[in-house]
Structure 1
Amino acid sequence: MTKQKHGQGRMKDTLRYQTIYFLFAFFFFAGSLRAQSPADSVAHVIIGDIRVEGNHRTRTGIITRELAIKSGDTIRTNLLAETLEIDRRKIINTNLFVVVEMIPEPNADSVRTDVRVVVKERWYLIATPVFQLADRNFNEWWYDRNRDFSRIIYGIYLSYGNVSGRADKLRVLAEFGFIPKFEVSYSLPYLDKAQKTGITVGASYSTNKTMAYRTWRDKLSYLNSEDINKKRFYSFVTLTRRNKYYTFHSLDLRWSSTNITDTIAVLNPNYFLKGRTKQTYFQLTYSYSYDKRDNFQYPLRGRVGGIQFSKIGLLPSDKINQAYAYGSYKQFFQLSERIFANSGIRARFSVPKRQPYLQTIGLGYRNDLVRGYELYVVDGQDYGLIKNELKYKLFSLQKHLSWIPVRQFNTIPLAAYLNTFADAAYVRNSYPEFSNTRLGNKVIYGGGAGIDVVTFYNIVARFNLTINGKGERRFFFNIAREF
């Protein structure tokens, strides 16, 4: 009886092991069969021919240089659309085209998938009249300069892009009126066969009669004059290097010469320091940037950042010895189908702390400002700036006007976004007595809401209602074009 029970027990154990082995074998072979199933064999596509169409002037290599996909690549089917969209954005960000489409099509061999890159080129030769204000922005002219039309700059701007079909550009600027200026530059982004190294050369000459000679209580002080009080000339050569799609290096060498009258030197002996009336120097600047935004003109997704180191005064004969470091980073988020956000930080540090007024740079110029303080200039040697924004897309459309015969102008994009923003900054001024600053050496902040309108050829118009830390409420308007 006992032997019979032991025999039955051994049979049960054997049966249990056989069952486990069978199940293991079943799942193993089922998994292998599933991995080799016909359904999975079409989960990837093989890139066939890549054809570029519509590039009448632009060389094909300039376009294919932006593509990560190559003929023969294997890409998962569910990632094909996203991969093509990323490459499409890179091509549109060259600023050579109005429209870019990436169209996958079956190859004649029925195995591979071809890609058609269809582009519509911009109008490359643009001669536009210059009619702008001499002030830092429209709002300063409107509120602080009493809408004085004598402060108008007029002239002509000539931009000849894609001169040789290699994304090169010739720029000529001739301005008259309040600040006469003449500039010329030529850039060739790809010198070598590897299409990684480029060069830009240029020169500029300008004169001032009425000019800002100091900052006092965070406002620019002007000398009104009929005589020329300032002359400036500079020339430069910049080498650029683009090893990867999103990283850029540049090395800029320039020579600058500026002369002011004795009147300016008396009004502000710190303009060049020690009451000097002439400043000449060489300057060497290295810049690195990483730019992976979906659109350079008006980004909604991605990130951009960079650092810059500069030495002003390279020779013993240069009457200035100064250096600075500048860094920035900005992240763009898509929170939902229509809601977007971005947040960024910028900072600048310079030495020594005793600097000429002309090289003492704080907040208030270009986009380095706290919104709500557009009417102020906060001088200082170092600063940090934080900017945040939340926006809602009202609409984004692209209208094709078939009745316009010129193809570069018959496709008009138009978009509008509601936005709200909040900024904060701190400017450190080591010599506040020179400008009697009220905003330096303390935290300043501002915020508001508005609407952005984006249209073709990189034009962005901004309408904002703001409030700053001083309790000032104002409406500000700004229009800009990214070249």
Structure 2
Amino acid sequence: MRALLFPIIFCSFYFNAFSQISVQNKNERIKVSNIDTDSIDKRIVNVKDIRIVGNKKTKKRIITREIDIEVGKGYTVGELKKLVKLDENKIFNTGLFTSVIGEISFDPAIENQVEVIFFMEERWYIWPSIIFNLADRNFSDWLFNQNAATDRFEYGFRFDQYNVRGLNEKLRVMAQFGFKRRFSLGYRIPYLNKKQKLGMGLNFSYSEFDQIDITNVGDKRLFIDADSLFGDNSGRNIISTNFYASLDFTYRESFYNTHAIALFYDQITVADTISSLNPSYLNDGEPEQISLNLRYNFRRDFRDRNNYPLKGFLIDVAVEKNGLGIFNDINQGSIKLKLNQYKPLKYNFNVASSVTGYTSFPKQQPYTTLRGLGFANELLKGYELYVIQGQHYIMHKSELKKRIFSFETNLGKLMPLKQFRKIPIAGYFKVFFDQGYVQNNLSVTNESLFSNRYIYSYGAGFDLVTFYDAVVRFEYSINALNEAGFFINVKAGI
């Protein structure tokens, strides 16, 4: 019965995702001005102009790139309302604005002539910030698995410049110290050509570690530090380094479809002792691993909001080849498929579902490249304390949520920066059920509790959503071992 569970979920999810296109935004309302709005949805109107209001820094062409409505074309008012809402969402999802509102304005002098207006408020684009965060995967991992160790903090400085030149370009510079010393530089240009379809990104980073996880026992990572390897008085405090560089190109063929191809160089070195403690830590038990890798990604994103979607769907496919035969250090490939669907129900209820499948080869893989469940959003609720590694996995997550409140607070003159005056806040109560399966060919040696078996979790929680894409999740969950716990996470669960 369990063997049939995942194909059924996968197929039903797949077909529902595509049928979702036709029902987008049917309950959304767009403001229509200068006319009696009773029974006008079937009236055919002509769009004489599209106006953009509020873009002080952002170039107009970056905004019009997201608009599907055409000047001079006729639409029924009902069709135009739906298109305005879709374009409103696309403009918001550029990440450049705190709010975007679309309006259809009838021309009182010319019958059936309308003007479409998009009102927007720009975000704050310059973010110099102090880094102070945990090195561990989440708060619970640090508190329980690492006994709230005070040496596992990271601190430093990061500078983010969004919307450089008003063209949605992004610059990031970071210098980080503490548990992991890391220095990085990145720049992204979303549009290189006049048609605004081709983009490029460039990233460099260098990291040093005086403590690393060298193996996984019982689905928990075991760490070792420099003092344990070399002695307290050795004067050596670096046991691993990593240099990473990547160049990627994106091709946005339509509003919702994006292709990306990335070439990245990855060099990892470790102390000789690490290879003796875990011969599989790097490929062939060597103290250095160098690989030139290639990744292709296809993404179809039809979500209404990127940070906390309530309707639409997402299809994400990634194919990766680690090792292109140049350095002969690694030969590994993987395919990953993710399908997410979000659907609004009546009375402020919403349902969300996500299916993720991953497969890789060969069977024997270095510890540093072995994937699984436990990092970022590749995590089943209730398993925050575990990293379940394996060569293959499938995961299904589902949520039923109800909006409890939604309002906006205006700080007015108390906040001198206009971009921070309005604070939208929404709260959602939810119940959830997650399930998955991780196949690990090495489970006998690492005493895994959860690989090669059906795992699940269920529970309830509360999501708090506010401005600048901030989401905080408070969740109480029970897993397959009947372990119950309260967890705090950031970012949307699905």
- Tell me if the contact between 2:162 and 2:169 (Cα under 8 Å) persists in the aligned partners: yes
**Structure 2 unmatched runs, 5+:** 1-38, 228-236
Change in CA separation of 1:251 and 1:93 when aligned onto 2, cut-off 3 Å: same
Separation of aligned partners in 2, 1:465 and 1:393: 18
Amino acid paired to 2:161: Y
- Separation (CA, whole Å) in 2 of partners of 1:106 and 1:273: 67
Matches within 5 A, 1:49-64: 49-64=49-64
Deviations 1:294-313 (A, max 9, x none): 10010000000111111110
Query: What does 1:232-247 align with in structure 2 at a 5 Å threshold?
Result: 232-247=242-257
Residue 176 of structure 1 corresponds to 177
Q: Return the alpha-carbon distance in structure 1 between the equivalents of residues 40 and 443 of structure 2.
A: 70
Name the counterpart of 2:48: 48
Give the aligned partner of residue 376 of structure 1: 386
Find the counterpart in structure 2 of residue 468 from structure 1: 479
Tell me the distance in 2 between the aligned counterparts of 1:410 and 1:273. Answer: 53
Q: For 1:17-416, list aligned pairs within 5 A.
A: 43-107=43-107, 109-111=109-111, 112-226=113-227, 227-403=237-413, 404-416=415-427
SS of equivalent residue, structure 1 residue 433: helix
Distance 1:40 1:101 in 2: 21
Query: How far apart are the structure 1 equivalents of 2:115 and 2:82?
Result: 16
Closer, same or farther: CA 387–198 of 1 in aligned 2, 3 Å? same
Contact 1:105 1:115 in 2 (8 A): yes
The code of the aligned residue for 1:90 comes to: K
AA of the residue aligned to 2:53: E
Instruction: Report deviation, 1:44.
Output: 1.2
Question: Shift in Å at residue 188 of structure 1?
Answer: 0.4
SS at match of 1:311: strand
Over the aligned positions, Cα root-mean-square deviation in angstroms equals 1.6
1-structure distance, mates of 2:448, 2:77? 61
Q: Which has the greater radius of gyration?
A: 1
Matched-pair contact (CA < 8 Å) for 2:292–2:326: no
Residue 446 of structure 2 is aligned to residue 435 of structure 1: yes
**1:172 maps to amino acid:** V
Confirm or deny: 8 A CA contact 2:392 2:439 kept in the other structure.
yes
Q: 1:237 to 1:343 in 2, by over 3 A?
A: same
Paired position in structure 1 for 2:27: none
Q: Quick one: distance in 2 between partners of 1:189 and 1:250? A: 11
Q: What TM-score do the two structures reach when normalised by structure 1?
A: 0.89
Counterpart contact for 1:170–1:185, Cα < 8 Å = yes
Q: Structure 1 residues 74 and 337 mapped into 2: Cα distance closer, same or farther (>3 Å)?
A: farther
Measure how far apart 1:273 and its partner are: 3.3
Residues 283 and 330 in structure 2, CA contact (< 8 A), matched pair in contact too = no
What is the letter of the counterpart of residue 86 of structure 1? L
Per-residue displacement from partner, 1:61-95 (whole Å, max 9, x unpaired)?
10011011011121112333222111101100000
Secondary structure of the residue aligned to 1:269 is coil
**Partner Cα separation in structure 1 for residue 110 and residue 150 of structure 2:** 67
Q: CA deviation at 1:107?
A: 3.0
Q: Is the 8 A contact 1:362 1:382 kept in 2?
A: yes
User: Which protein, 1 or 2, shows the higher relative CO under an 8 Å CA cutoff with sep ≥ 6?
Assistant: 2
The superposition leaves residues 264-309 of structure 1 with CA deviations (integer Å, 9 ceiling, x where unpaired) of 1111110013321000010000000110101001000000011111
Superposition deviation, residue 225 in structure 1:
2.5
Unaligned runs of 5+ in 1: 1-38
Q: Would the aligned equivalents of 2:307 and 2:491 in 1 still touch at CA under 8 Å?
A: no
Q: Which runs of 4+ in 1 moved over 3 A?
A: 39-42
Per-residue deviation, 1:156: 1.8
| 1:480 to 1:341, Cα distance in 2 relative to 1, 3 A | closer
Give the 3 Å change call, closer, same or farther, for CA 391–481 of structure 1 in structure 2.
Answer: closer
Percent identity of equivalent pairs: 36
Q: Select between 253-262 and 106-115 the one with higher mean Cα deviation.
A: 106-115
Counterpart of 1:59 in structure 2: which amino acid? K
Q: 2:435 aligns with which of 424, 439, 447?
A: 424
Which amino acid is the alignment partner of residue 270 of structure 2?
Answer: I
CA contact (8 A) 1:169 1:187 kept: yes
d(CA) in 1 for partners of 2:327, 2:376: 31
Residue 159 of structure 1 aligns to which amino acid in structure 2?
A: D
| TM-score of the superposed pair, with normalisation by structure 2 | 0.87
Secondary structure class of the residue paired with 2:462 = strand
Q: CA 1:472 to 1:41, structure 2 compared with 1: closer, same or farther past 3 Å?
A: closer
